[in-house]
Amino acid sequence: MPELPEVETVRAGLERYVVGAKISAAQTFHPRALKTTSIATLKSVIGAKIIAVNRRGKFLWFELDREFALVAHLGMSGQLLVQPITSPKHLHLRANLVLGNSLISPKKSREKIEIRFIDQRTFGWLSVEEQSNGIPTSVAHIAYDPFEHEFDLKAVISDLKRRKSAIKSAILNQGIISGIGNIYADEALWRARLHPEIICGDLTEDEIKKVVLSAKAVMKSAIKAGGTSFDEQYKNVNGESGYFSRSLSVYGREGEPCSRCATLVRRIAFANRSSHFCPRCQR
């Protein structure tokens, strides 16, 4: 599933190409492309101007010159590609937004482009939503992510310290801190030298702080690398894969030596997921 670095990479790519453009056409090609709670069909955004592309955690949304916003969640395999309308259609194209006055590149002649929502497994969605203080309905319950100005590190540490759950489960909780998924949780805990099953209340505030700051640091590095791609299911808006997988220390590296101590990385089942860790560094 795309996590904060992948969604931020997509957001930044969209921002480069679509801000200031007007949506001249919109269409859905699959019944699950539009979220069931959407207040209107995708055609309702026709004629709207894209003011900005925003993100919180794993959610992104198009700020329009309208009272509503267009929200996108990539789910397990969603992609938002920016391509000329003349490009061949993808097999898993679920929806598109045609932009009437945009350039795919400043160096190329003017050509209509479109935002294509590709989703092989159809767990992602688009949604037309009301908003309060610039935050769409489906994003309102999501906690601030570590890159937002409003993120309160002390409050998050205090919240985690009171929890009786395992530290990995807690940092995956999007109501406490948003944007962290399975990949970056494993990487953050490895950097902090903490086992994923340690109970939050058994950790010191300094240890919890180290986990949160480690998560932010590893996600910052991943953003610079364009995110993590293991297959064709995650792409940037230009169709390129991210290459942070080359820098992963434990995630997906079961049976390989830990880069710190050479102990073989282990994988265990954890809360319907897999957790990767070093049994020596993370006791």
pLDDT tens column, 232-279 = 556 678 888 887 888 999 999 999 999 999 999 999 997 778 999 999
The percent of residues above 90 in pLDDT, for the chain, comes to 85
Catalytic residue, chosen from 22, 55, 56, 58, is: 58
Q: Residue 104 pLDDT > 60, yes or no?
A: no
Q: How confident is the model at residue 105 (pLDDT cuts 50, 70, 90)?
A: very low
Find the mean pLDDT for residues 88-110.
75
| Nearby residues of 261 by Cβ (< 8 Å), 6 or more positions away | 278, 280, 281
Write down the pLDDT at residue 133: 95
On average, the pLDDT of the chain sits at 93
Catalytic residue, chosen from 3, 63, 114, 187, is: 3
Q: What are phi and psi of 221, to 5 degrees?
A: -65, -40
Residue 162 annotated as catalytic: no
Write down the pLDDT at residue 233: 57
The percent of residues above 70 in pLDDT, for the chain, comes to 94
Catalytic residue, chosen from 49, 112, 266, 273, is: 273
Copy the structure tokens of residue 80.
Answer: 């938002």
Residue 31 annotated as catalytic: no
Burial class (CB in 10 A: 0-12, 13-18, 19+), 150: exposed
Residue 2 annotated as catalytic: yes
Q: Report how far apart, in Å, the C-alpha atoms of 32 and of each of 1, 81, 148 are.
A: 18, 18, 31
Beta strand spans in 149-254 (E): none
Write down the pLDDT at residue 270: 78
Q: Report how far apart, in Å, the C-alpha atoms of 177 and of each of 6, 47, 160 are.
A: 17, 35, 10
Report the DSSP beta bridge partners of residue 135: 132
Reported as a single tens digit per residue, the pLDDT across 175-209 is 999 999 999 999 999 999 999 999 999 999 999 99
If DSSP codes are grouped into helix, strand and coil, which group holds residue 73? Answer: strand
Ordered domains of the chain (ranges, CATH): 4-139 (3.20.190.10), 153-240+248-277 (1.10.8.50)
| Nearby residues of 16 by Cβ (< 8 Å), 6 or more positions away | none
Find the mean pLDDT for residues 27-55.
97
Write down the pLDDT at residue 110: 60
Residue 187 annotated as catalytic: no
Find the mean pLDDT for residues 87-109.
76
